[in-house]
Amino acid sequence: MRHADLRRAAVFHAVAAAGGIAAASPRLGKSPPAIHHDLKRFEAEIGRPLFERAGRALRLTAAGQALFESVGRALDEVERTRWRLSQEDPALRPLRIATVSAFGRYRLAPRLMRSLPTDRPLELTFGTHEAVLAAVSSGAADLGVTYRPVTAAPIQSKPLAEEEIVLAIAGAAVEPADLEAMATTTFTTYDEYEFVFGHWFETVFGRQPDSLRRLDHTGEIEEAMESCAAGRGAIIAPLDLVEAPAWRERVRVIRPTGLPLCLNTLHLLGLGAMLASADADMIRSAVGDSARMEGTRG
């Protein structure tokens, strides 16, 4: 695909704005013959006439008017970028993060937004583990956060933080006392619940229940929390989510007496040197677990 010459596009815009070649000459610092040459070359690149004569003046054709507006927007964007580059500490590039939903919404996002410079743009997207992996792989996100380590080259991952996974029930619901009671408890599930539920049962009880009764299933974990709070089923979910203001007064956290807590490690993902970047360090600092997680690696 051929691209129009930006320098000649700027000449075209200046002539159109000034109403003629002679009027644009002082502004451009070019002689009228040089401007005329640039305009002819630019019209050849575009492939159609951009000006027509109106007495001694030049008037834009319909194609020229459309191009004049487009070039004006492009030149305005160049000027805005030039101005930002001239600042002492410009925030030129958005911080693009893809993250799994519960940790991203209820721990990462609030802490990160308090830590980011006020003029640094943030692009934060939420999705499944596979969606986060795809976003980092394709370059749609610079960094990712997910609940599984990744060993698929060229993506690298490092531990970022820990979250507690808990059993939660509606305030008036009957508390299941043991693994056998779990088999008769109705649960609400959500996309990717298999990993979370399986990890919790293995950590707390050392094995899975013989069966799992499900009533509601939702794509997003927040809707599953609403189902739990309404008494339609128990849920196993990250504590950050369960203790969010929308639900903490409506559900109870159940930690079976004498049994282990269930902790899960979140991992920071990136391509190449991104995990050693200042942005990765900022995320670690915002989450607040970086020092402890460094200690768990040895």
What pLDDT, on a 0 to 100 scale, did the predictor assign at position 250? 94
Q: Is the pLDDT of residue 3 over 70?
A: no
What residues does CATH 1.10.10.10 cover in the chain? Answer: 6-86
Name residue, tokens 């200690």: 295
Reported as a single tens digit per residue, the pLDDT across 41-98 is: 998 988 889 988 887 778 899 998 999 998 888 888 777 766 665 554 545 678 899 9
For the four alpha carbons of 8, 11, 15 and 17, in that order, the dihedral sign comes to positive
Are 87 and 120 in contact, with CB atoms under 8 Å apart?
A: no
pLDDT for 56 equals: 75
pTM for the model stands at 0.64
Bridge partners for 107 per DSSP: none
Assigned CATH class of 6-86:
mainly alpha
Residues 209/213/218/223 CA torsion (nearest 10 deg): -90
Q: Which CATH superfamily hosts domain 163-263?
A: Periplasmic binding protein-like II (3.40.190.10)
Distance CA 48, CA 219 (A): 52
Pick 156 or 203 by higher pLDDT. Answer: 203
Mean of the per-residue pLDDT values of the chain: 86
We find that the CATH architecture of domain 95-157+267-295 is: 3-Layer(aba) Sandwich (3.40)
Of the ranges 4-18, 42-56, 229-243, the best mean pLDDT one: 229-243
Q: Which one-letter DSSP state was computed for residue 198?
A: H
pLDDT at 83: 60
pLDDT for the residue 168: 96
**Which contacts of 74-83 are long-range, i.e. CB under 8 A and separated by 24 or more positions?**
74/6, 74/9, 75/9, 75/10, 75/13
Where does the pLDDT of residue 2 fall: very low under 50, low under 70, confident under 90, or very high at 90 and above?
Answer: low
Alpha carbon 46 to chain centroid, angstroms: 37
Between 123 and 297, where is the model more confident?
A: 123
What's the rounded Cα separation, in Å, for the pair 233 and 231?
6
Give per-residue pLDDT as tens, 39-48.
Answer: 999 989 888 8
Give residue 169's pLDDT: 95
Mean pLDDT of 112-134: 88
pLDDT of residue 4: 64
**Is pLDDT above 90 for 143?**
yes
The pLDDT value recorded for residue 292 is 44
Name the least confident of 143-147, 152-156, 176-180. Answer: 152-156
What pLDDT digit, counting tens, does each position of 245-294 carry?
999 899 999 998 899 999 999 999 998 788 888 899 999 999 865 434 44
Residue with tokens 């830590």: 115
Can you give the pLDDT at residue 185? 92
Residue 154 preceded by cis peptide, ω within 30: yes
Determine the pLDDT at residue 160.
93
Q: Sorting pLDDT into bands at 50, 70 and 90, what band is 27?
A: confident
Which residue is associated with the tokens 């809707």? 223
Q: Are 199 and 258 in contact (CB under 8 A)?
A: no
232 confidence band (pLDDT: 50, 70, 90):
very high
Contacts of residue 198, Cβ cutoff 8 Å, sequence gap at least 6? 208
Residue 137 three-state SS: helix
Spell 52-65 as b/e; 16+ CB within 10 A means b.
Answer: eeeeeebebeeebe
Task: Locate CATH 3.40.190.10 in the chain.
Answer: 95-157+267-295, 163-263
pLDDT at residue 159 in the model: 94
- pLDDT at site 84: 60
Q: What whole-number distance in Å separates Cα of residue 160 and Cα of residue 235? A: 25
Question: Among 190, 191, 200, 196, which residue's Cα sits nearest to residue 131?
Answer: 191
Percent of the chain beyond pLDDT 70?
A: 90
* Greater pLDDT, 70 or 297: 70
Q: What is the band of 238 on the pLDDT scale with cuts at 50, 70, 90?
A: very high
Predicted confidence band at 178 (pLDDT cuts at 50, 70, 90)? confident
